[in-house]
A and B are shown apart, each in its own frame.
Chain A
Amino acid sequence: MIWEFLSTFFIPAYILPAPSVIFYQFFTYEAMWYHFSYTLYIVLVGFVLAVVGGLMLGILISHSAHLQRGLSPILSGFWATPKSAFAPLFIVWFGYGDMASIFVVFLMAFFPLLENTMAGMRATEPELIALMRSLRANQYQILEKVRIPKAMPYIFSGLKIAAPLTVIGAVVAEFISGYRGLGYIVLHAQTFVKIPLTFAAILAMLIIGLCLYGAIALVERRLLPWVRRSRSV
């Protein structure tokens, strides 16, 4: 409301358009849906790949303390590096198509997921493991019945962290490759100084991010009802 008011009367349109203008652009720009769905597709594919890869690798690595020690510094190093900085490199590798963007998204989501999965795998209380072993449980029973469910809250934390990152990754990659998607819209809008369109694209990104995050939160609430209550440690 305040925004609308300020925008209409005080702030020049090229800095911050009124919400009404933004929404109008959002709904009337013909190619909006095309680019929106493209970015959505990139985000989802990259995210799913990261989930599968991150979880599997996380569980695998947790099995061997050896692997953990060996890979830890390497992984930390990779995580700290901004993956989007690699986007131009990926375009050289993969060409201007979808692969480069998907790969950036994958990398951005992969590391938080991996880290959180590994943290989750460490979360089972040693007493519980002792109990299982006293009953002669084998590795897989322990994994399936105890360690993985115990890791779930951590994994979901990782998912919620990774979700917004995927949108960032997709958009940055699209900036670089500049041929499709919401990132492309932003570039295009900049070229023609269509500020409301820029904001409309940003709004679209927001929607994707929120929906993804919201979906994860919803699933978490269903699958892990105990997480929000007080947990016994």
Chain B
Amino acid sequence: MGKKVLVQYKKLSKTYMGSKNEECVEALKEITFDVYENEFVTVVGPSGCGKSTLLNITAGILPYTSGELFIDEVKIKEPTPNIGIVFQAPTLLEWRSVLDNVLLPVEILGKDKKKYYEEAMNLIKLVGLQNFERRYPWELSGGMQQRVSICRSLIHDPKLLLMDEPFGALDAITRDRMDLELLRIWKEKRKTVIYITHSIPESVFLADRVVVLSARPAKVVKIVKVNLPRPRTVEMQYTKKFKDYCHFIVNLIAGEAEREEPIGSGNREFH
């Protein structure tokens, strides 16, 4: 298909060294997969399996023990600003307005704020918060704050967007809405997204491919390609095909690997 690879994990491993009498914790074991440009990849796995470790390593703020990581063909050893991150908590700066919060990365990177003003306003409008740019975080709901957080992650035009259960703290209704919003933003901005979640239905709903991780130490169990048409709709979540995907992944995680392909799922890659 000639798609360009943006992120490459090659046998990436991470072991946390214990201090004194504590044992070493093996968090990631030979993680290997590629992420293509403009792709939306979700990562699912049981709690504590190391998903956040993977994210921190990808962001360049956590060193890995062995293996290789390439982003845009550059070997990653330290933080690269070519990445935007969104966490579960919005972590906005309370004393700054929405606009100033969005512009924070640009300030840190030492760039001229004024040049990014227009882009910031565009992003704010894109997430549906126009007229709120002068407001402060305490005046916004959780969902709105998280949308500001998304703007902040995009202001410096990174190629890769890392999201660690960004909507986990929101109520179910808002979460569903935000998922649709996110897909809309993704389509608009054409970024590559690695999205970590606990929710299997969410992982299937959002993704082009779902990376399923095992329990600690995390290994790639399987990568499931989701052959559902875009744009995704809420209705799709009630189709048999969708449920089959979910069921398949649930079983994978529960440790019962299915051998045959689920009906109608199309291609299914595994590494």
Contacts and interface: CB of A to CB of B under 8 A. Distances in A.
Q: Do A and B come from one complex?
A: yes
A65 to B, nearest CB: 12
Interface string B190-223: 0000000000000000000000000000000000
Nearest to B136: A226
A127 B108 contact: no
Contacts of B142: 232
A146 B92 contact: no
Given A135-B81, A226-B138, A232-B142, A125 B108 contact: no
Given A130-B59, A226-B136, A226-B137, A137 B89 contact: no
A233 B136 CA distance: 15
A134 B79 contact: yes
B233 interface: no
B79 A226 contact: no
Contacts of B104: 145
A130 B95 contact: no
A1 interface: no
B138 A133 contact: no
A128 B142 CA distance: 17
Contact of A229 (B81, B95, B138, B145): B138
Contact of B87 (A127, A137, A146): A127
B160 to A, nearest CB: 11
Interface residues of B, number: 31
Contacts of A132: 108
Interface in B104-148: 104-105, 107-109, 136-139, 142, 145
Contacts of A125: 89, 91
B107 A145 contact: yes
A131 B101 CA distance: 13
Given A127-B89, A128-B91, A134-B79, A232 B137 contact: yes
B154 interface: no
B7 to A, nearest CB: 15
A105 B47 CA distance: 52
A127 B91 contact: yes
Contact of B145 (A127, A225, A232): A232
A149 interface: yes
A216 to B, nearest CB: 18
A232 B92 contact: yes
A130 B56 contact: yes
B140 to A, nearest CB: 8
B60 interface: yes
Interface string B71-109: 000000011110101011111111100000000110111
B108 A231 contact: no
A134 B89 contact: no
B79 A232 contact: no
Contact of A141 (B81, B91, B108): B108
A132 B137 CA distance: 19
Contacts of A229: 138-139
Contacts of A226: 94-95, 136-138
B254 interface: no
A90 B246 CA distance: 74
Contact of A135 (B94, B108, B139): B108
Nearest to A133: B61
Contacts of A145: 93, 104, 107-108
A128 B137 CA distance: 15
A133 B79 contact: yes
A130 B61 contact: yes
A231 B91 contact: no
A224 interface: yes
A83 B247 CA distance: 67
Contacts of B92: 232
B81 A149 contact: no
Contacts of B59: 130, 134
A230 B136 CA distance: 12
Interface in A1-59: none
Contacts of A127: 87-89, 91
Given A127-B91, A145-B107, A232-B137, 5 more contacts: A135-B108, A137-B108, A145-B104, A149-B95, A232-B145
14 contacts: A125-B89, A127-B87, A127-B88, A127-B89, A127-B91, A134-B60, A134-B79, A135-B108, A136-B81, A226-B95, A230-B138, A232-B89, A232-B138, A232-B142
Q: What 5 pairs between A and B have smallest CB-CB spacing?
A: A229-B138, A226-B94, A127-B87, A134-B59, A135-B108
